[in-house]
Amino acid sequence: MAEYVFAIKAGDVQTGQIVALTLDDVPIAFTRLDGRIVAFGDVCTHDDGPLAEGTIEGDCVVCPRHGAHFNLYTGKPTFPAPFPIPIYETKIDGDDVLVKLTQTS
Ligand code: FES
């Protein structure tokens, strides 16, 4: 069973902003959605676009290259991305954000 690992301070993740990190060689991006911190794969499944350089629209992150939207609760994409992105479980411990590197979707 995968362990939670420290990722980032909660205060460094703000609504509407995206922060990118690499944890255990896994590129992960963080944002705050409905008050909770969401962690998702930072690579677009269309052509490897850097999602952390995209924007947040509603419940989605929008790829900066060709505009695919990925739902931040499910990872599900819109055209032209063919596959979902991984969504990772997070939990808060004080001001620390912990992430489980085994994806939930
Ligand atoms: S690389 Fe993301 S939509 Fe093309």
Q: How many angstroms does the Cα of residue 61 sit away from the middle of ligand 1? A: 11
pTM for this entry: 0.95
Taking the CA of residue 80 as reference, the ligand 1 atom at the shortest distance is 3
Q: Domain with 27 in it: what CATH number? A: 2.102.10.10
User: Which atom of ligand 1 is closest in space to residue 67's alpha carbon?
Assistant: 3
Report whether 32 contacts 87 (CB < 8 A): no
Confidence of residue 61 (pLDDT cuts 50, 70, 90): very high
Q: Domains in the chain: how many in total?
A: 1
For 25, the domain range is 4-103
Q: What angle do CA 85, 82, 21 make, to 5 degrees?
A: 25
pLDDT at 1 over 90: no
Q: How far is the centre of ligand 1, averaged over its atoms, from the C-alpha of 103 (Å)? A: 21
- Best residue for ligand 1 mutational test, from 42, 43, 44 (most atoms within 8 Å of Cβ): 44
| Closest of 4, 19, 13 to residue 36, by C-alpha | 13
Dihedral over alpha carbons 79, 17, 95, 34 (to 10 degrees): -60
Q: Is any atom of ligand 1 closer than 6 Å to the C-beta of 61?
A: no
How far from chain centre, in Å, is Cα 51? 8
Q: What is the mean pLDDT of residues 45-71?
A: 98
